[in-house]
């Protein structure tokens, strides 16, 4: 829980740097979407560098911590299905856990509050359904 709060504070610090210095919202799905568009110059560059930082920061922090339980990493078909749902959903809903859950809630946005409550609720339904499938499927 302490690790959770420290990690959360770092995420908040990162989003705050982007807001105060660059005037931008730290929405990961939005950053990734823009990278796939023909955006020129510095608007593309800061997003590409953000992703490079994400990978590097994760690797460095991961080197000092026990790695996550690899048994929980989904199999290939599940991963593809989940990826499709996350891609479609974040595009339609204009954001993910970072854009709505962190940045939106911090600015007390009603849209983001509704989005956050919704994706936590359907996420819970999905976890429940997956457990039901695992129990009923006998595998």
Partner 1 sequence: MKSPRSFALVGLIAGLIFGAGLVIGGMTSPAKVRGFLDFTGDWDPTLVFVMGGAVMVHFWAYRLVKPWNTPVLAPMFQIPSRKDVDAKLVLGAAIFGLGWGVGGYCPGPAVTSLPTGGVSVLAFVLAMLASSWLTGRLESRATTQTLQPTPEPPQRVPTP
Q: Which of residues 38-97 bind partner 1 (CB under 8 A)?
A: 41-42, 45-62, 65, 67-76, 78-94, 96-97
List own/partner pairs for 130-134 with CB under 8 A and 24 or more apart. none
Q: Quick count: other Cβ atoms within 10 Å of Cβ 95?
A: 25
Give min distance, CB of 119 to partner 1, in A.
3
Q: How far is the CB of 63 from partner 1 (least distance, A)?
A: 9
First-to-final CA distance of the chain:
33
- Residue number with CB closer to partner 1 (14 or 139): 14
Number of residues that bind partner 1 (CB under 8 A): 109
- Helix (H) or strand (E) segment spanning residue 109: none
Place of tokens 């359904």: 129
Binding pattern for the stretch 4-23 against partner 1, x by CB under 8 A and - elsewhere: xxxxxxxxxxxxxxxxxxxx
User: Of 5 and 138, which CB lies nearer to partner 1 in the complex structure?
Assistant: 5
The answer to whether the CB of 4 falls within 8 A of the CB of 24 is no
Nearer to partner 1, 110 or 136 (CB): 110
Rg (Cα) of the chain, in Å, rounded?
17
User: 100-139: which residues touch partner 1 (CB under 8 A)?
Assistant: 100-107, 109-111, 114-116, 118-131
């Amino acid at each position: 829980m302490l690790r959770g709060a420290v990690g959360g504070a770092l995420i908040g610090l990162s989003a705050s740097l982007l807001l105060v210095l660059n005037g931008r919202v730290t929405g990961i799905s939005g950053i990734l979407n823009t990278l796939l568009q023909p955006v020129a110059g510095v608007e593309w560059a800061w997003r590409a560098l953000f992703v490079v930082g994400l990978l590097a920061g994760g690797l460095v922090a991961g080197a000092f911590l026990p790695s996550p339980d690899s048994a929980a990493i989904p199999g290939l078909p599940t991963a593809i299905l989940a990826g499709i749902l996350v891609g479609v959903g974040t595009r339609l809903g204009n954001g993910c856990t970072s854009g709505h859950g962190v940045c939106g809630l911090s600015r007390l946005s009603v849209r983001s509050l509704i989005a956050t409550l919704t994706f936590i609720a359907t996420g819970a339904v999905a976890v429940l359904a997956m457990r039901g499938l695992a129990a009923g499927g006998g595998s």
